[in-house]
Amino acid sequence: MSSKPLWLKAVLRVERAVGKPVEAAVRSDTYFELVTKATRATGKVKRTVSGTSTKVLHKVNLPAGSDMQRMREQLLRMERRLNRLTEGIEELDDGALKRAPVKRKPANRKPADRTPVD
């Protein structure tokens, strides 16, 4: 049986009836202009809300999201720096352990002249 089921024929017919006008609309210049305007408007609204919320939070002495992001970045920089310093210290320690310990003679020091305290 090579014919398609009735339900599939109906779905394909509806899909084509709806799909052709939608495809034509999304390929038009008007669609791209609307999408561009909507994207710009969305960005402007987000910046406005973000700026307003930041100002309000700062007025009540609370950190905003942008403050927290800067703190995270600063913390990451400090962690990287600490890791580099730790690695450097480990390299120095490894080098010191590989060298044979040098025996030194104790210095001949004379005891300091002390005068009795009255």
**Residue 74 structural domain:** 65-98
Using CB atoms within 10 A of its CB, is residue 118 exposed (0-12), middle (13-18) or buried (19+)? exposed
Q: Contact, 57 vs 68, CB < 8 A?
A: no
Give Cβ neighbours of residue 54 (< 8 Å, ≥ 6 apart).
Answer: 64, 65, 66
DSSP at 61: T
Give the pTM. Answer: 0.47
Is 55 found in the same domain as 28?
Answer: yes
In this predicted structure, what is the pLDDT of residue 94? 82
Is 48 found in the same domain as 6?
Answer: yes
In this predicted structure, what is the pLDDT of residue 96? 73
Q: Does residue 29 form part of some domain?
A: yes
Total domains, the chain: 2
Is 70 found in the same domain as 58?
Answer: no
pLDDT block averages, 10 residues each, the chain of length 118 = 85 93 91 96 96 95 95 98 94 75 66 62
In this predicted structure, what is the pLDDT of residue 44? 97
CA-based nearest residue to 51, from 39, 63, 64: 64
